[in-house]
Amino acid sequence: MFQPSSFYHNGESARGFHYERLRRTLRLHGIMPVALYRGAERCMGGVRLSVWHPVRPSSPRNPNHASLVLLLEYAGRTVLLPGDIEAEQERSLLDFATMGPVDILLVPHHGSRTSSSPAFVSAFRPRFAVVSAGWHNRFRFPHAEVVRRYAATGSTILRTDWDGAIEFAISAEGTLSWRTTRPPWNTWQTEPLEGPISRWNFVDWTCGQG
């Protein structure tokens, strides 16, 4: 389905079967590994990708703390992908990034109570808070307190354990559509873009057009 030319990663190395299998797969298909750190940007077909974390290679004891945090921007819409960061890394983001609501947030660390601090949730106030978690998973993600925190900001909460696969689409005009494999949102729902083309003061919408 996908034929990537590059593989973005956080610059950390690892040992073990799965890591070596990944390296072999990249070599086999001629895919270039590219380490990304805070401040890096990429433009692809009008989509701007900004890297917010990690700051640099650090080899932390907990590999979650080195997760890539990516902001995707397209047609006035924003998608924040924070990986498995926890409260300490969230504080670092709040010191670094221009704050404002995002359209879609992949809830950090599957909804663990060690992430989604009140300050983080309040800063980004996502329209959609998406939780990737297995049905009856042994960690009991997402934590009920985290779910309540997002609900209090008015976020629509979508969960893979309850809603199945979750799909979003953004048109060139900024219309946001979404659906899930389970009711009640198992048919396409749409929301037109409201307000200015971007709520983020550093966005250059000529990205990928010149």
The two beta strands, 176-180 and 189-191, are: antiparallel
**From CA 75, how far away is CA 209, in angstroms rounded?**
12
The residue ranking higher by pLDDT, 46 or 194, is 46
Q: Which two tokens stand for residue 115?
A: 């992430």
Q: Supply the pLDDT for residue 110.
A: 93
- Three-state SS string over 8-40 comes to EECCCCCCCHHHHHHHHHHHHCCCEEEECCCCC
pLDDT digits (tens, 9 = 90+) for 98-120: 778 999 999 999 999 999 999 99
Half-sphere exposure of 141 (CA within 13 A, CB side): 20
pLDDT mean across residues, the chain: 90
Tokens of 92: 């670092």
CB contact at 8 A, 133 and 161: yes
Cα 89–166–152 angle (5° rounding)?
A: 55
pLDDT (tens digit per residue) in 12-44: 888 899 999 999 999 999 999 999 999 999 998
197 pLDDT more than 60: no
**Taking 90 as the threshold, does the pLDDT of residue 202 lie above it?**
no
The residue written with tokens 């929301």 in the block is 191
Q: What are phi and psi of 100, to 5 degrees?
A: 165, 160
Q: Residue 59: exposed, middle, or buried by beta-carbon count in 10 A (0-12, 13-18, 19+)?
A: exposed
Domains of the chain: 1-35 (no CATH), 38-191 (3.60.15.10)
pLDDT at 56 over 70: yes
If you ran DSSP here, which 8-state letter would residue 174 be given? -
> Of residues 173 and 194, which shows the higher confidence score?
173
pTM of the model: 0.89
pLDDT at 207: 63
199 pLDDT above the threshold of 60: no
In this prediction, residues 139-167 reach a mean pLDDT of: 95
- Asked if 207 and 45 count as a contact pair (C-beta separation under 8 A), the reply is no
